Amino acid sequence: MVKPGQPRPRRPQGRWSPVQLSPVILTVVIAGLAYATPPDMAFSRILPAAPALAAAMWPVLPTVLLGTVCFLLMVGLSLVFPGLGAWYTVAGIVAVTVAAAYGSHVRLQREQSLFQVRLVADAAQQVVLSPMPRRFGAVEIESLYLAAAAEARIGGDFYEVADTPYGVRLLIGDVRGKGLPAVGTAAAVVNSFREAAYDEPDLAGIARRLEASSTRYNSAFSPDDLAERFSTAVLVEIPHEDNSVRILNCGHPPPLLLNRDGVRVLSPTDPSPLLNLASLIGDCYSTDTFAFTPADQLLLYTDGVTEARDRTGAFFPLTDWMRRRTAPQRPRELLDGLHRDLLTYSNGGLDDDIAALAVGFRNGPDSGHGPAGREEH
């Protein structure tokens, strides 16, 4: 039962759909057949199916009212056809209506519980994932997020964007695992980035802050599975009034840069350690710098995109897909197309969290392509 003051699930507005009216339609059809056919065909015996169907989609009171209508119809049939033996069916209608009313009550309680869970998940999503789109001068950013745990609405993939004195900084990453168990780690990393992005002069400093936050959060868990509790991440910096993109990759799928010459995979020269594993494999962070032109598109994504499979088990060919984006597109158009084609490719069977950020450069400086340098810290 919904308590006073609690938010309630939204009810559909306007006219009822044919599906919602199907218990009434079923009742009318059965009653019509019972009156129009010989008594020995006994169509009236399936009248209890109407309140049983109503319990799956109606509240308690309408379900009971429909059961009452069926009860009265059966009484009327017994008067029209005295030898019908309708009293057994009448008793069945009463029993099914009582059971249907209870089933409707239980269903409404579960719907309310699910509604409360979704409210909590929505609140968590607003904490972990910033609203998009964002535009900072010539930089336009859009996002795509699909959680594998559909009812949870949020999973282990994360992203964040910040406009700092050092430039526009982006984070995208993936916590090992999916669903609500990964949300805590994602929140710890994102919250750390929100502070470090404004304080640290370089991406290596941000990465060390993220590593420290991830380590502190995971210290509450058993040390036996430390190697299994890690995150991958990509840090991106787009300096103000510059024609470069700086990228620090902590074991994450490399970003893709779409320009007039084609698609370039921005792989790291030297990989940086995964978050929460620097103490095991070292904390040497490497930042690569790439150039761009005003019409370039940068795509950041998690492995849920590249690991989407078709019916034959083949992975989604993201690089080839990007290469076919010939006409200049806004970031929103790029992500909408990616979302649509992922669903088509996997036949709607996406089974991993998916996050993506599309970055467009508008009215920015023009320059050539290729790496402009590399920094080590």
pLDDT (tens, 9 = 90+) of the chain, 377 residues, equals 444 444 555 554 446 678 889 999 999 999 888 888 887 787 888 889 999 999 999 999 999 999 999 999 888 888 887 766 677 888 889 999 999 999 999 999 998 887 877 776 666 666 667 777 678 888 899 999 887 655 555 667 889 999 999 999 999 999 886 555 577 788 889 999 999 999 999 999 999 999 998 888 877 666 655 555 788 999 999 998 878 899 999 999 999 999 888 899 999 998 899 998 887 777 889 999 998 777 889 999 999 899 988 888 899 999 999 998 876 678 999 999 999 999 899 887 777 778 899 998 765 444 333 444 444 45
In a domain, residue 8? The reply is no
Sign of the dihedral defined by the CA atoms of residues 77, 78, 80, 81, in that order: positive
Same structural domain, 349 and 224 = yes
Same structural domain, 81 and 220 = no
Same structural domain, 318 and 180 = yes
Q: How far apart are CA 27 and CA 67, in angstroms?
A: 10
Same structural domain, 100 and 225 = no
In a domain, residue 4? The reply is no
Q: Which amino acid is at 318?
A: L
Q: How far apart are CA 342 and CA 153, in angstroms?
A: 18
Q: Is residue 150 a contact partner of residue 143, using CB atoms and an 8 Å limit?
A: no
Q: How far apart are CA 238 and CA 240, in angstroms?
A: 7
For residue 224, what pLDDT is reported? 59
Same structural domain, 294 and 202 = yes
Same structural domain, 157 and 65 = no
Q: Whole-model pTM above 0.85?
A: no
**Token reading at 142:** 């859009």
Q: In 3D, which of 340, 334, 337, 321 has the Cα closest to residue 361? A: 334
Q: Which amino acid is at 151?
A: E
For residue 177, what pLDDT is reported? 61
Q: How far apart are CA 349 and CA 306, in angstroms?
A: 14
In a domain, residue 274? The reply is yes
* Chain segment 100-142, per-residue pLDDT in tens: 999 999 999 998 887 877 776 666 666 667 777 678 888 899 9
Same structural domain, 107 and 150 = no
Same structural domain, 98 and 134 = no
Q: Which amino acid is at 249?
A: N
Same structural domain, 113 and 165 = no
In a domain, residue 296? The reply is yes
Same structural domain, 157 and 262 = yes
In a domain, residue 163? The reply is yes
State the DSSP H helix or E strand holding residue 8, giving kind and residue range, or none if neither. none
Q: Is residue 341 a contact partner of residue 321, using CB atoms and an 8 Å limit?
A: yes
Q: Is residue 134 a contact partner of residue 159, using CB atoms and an 8 Å limit?
A: no
For residue 181, what pLDDT is reported? 59
**Token reading at 56:** 């799956």
* Chain segment 311-342, per-residue pLDDT in tens: 888 999 999 999 988 766 789 999 999 999 99
In a domain, residue 226? The reply is yes
In a domain, residue 139? The reply is yes
**Token reading at 167:** 């430039």
**Token reading at 334:** 């790029």
Same structural domain, 109 and 209 = no
Q: What is the DSSP string of 100-132?
A: HHHHHHHHHHHHHHHHHHHHHHHHHHHHHS--S
For residue 69, what pLDDT is reported? 93
Same structural domain, 306 and 259 = yes
DSSP code of residue 43? G
Q: How far apart are CA 324 and CA 54, in angstroms?
A: 50
For residue 215, what pLDDT is reported? 85
State the DSSP H helix or E strand holding residue 289, giving kind and residue range, or none if neither. strand 286-291
**Token reading at 287:** 């930042």
In a domain, residue 5? The reply is no
- 286-291 and 371-376 as β-strands: parallel, antiparallel, unpaired? antiparallel
What is the four-CA torsion angle of 152, 153, 159, 160, rounded to 10 degrees?
-110
What is the four-CA torsion angle of 248, 250, 253, 254, rounded to 10 degrees?
20
DSSP code of residue 225? G
Q: Which of 60, 87, 119 is the last residue of a domain?
A: 119
Domain boundaries, position 271: 129-361
Residue 195: CB atoms within 10 Å: 13
* Domain containing residue 234: CATH number: 3.60.40.10
**Token reading at 333:** 């158009």
Q: Is residue 275 a contact partner of residue 233, using CB atoms and an 8 Å limit?
A: yes
For residue 68, what pLDDT is reported? 94
Number of domains in the chain: 2
Q: Is residue 354 a contact partner of residue 156, using CB atoms and an 8 Å limit?
A: no
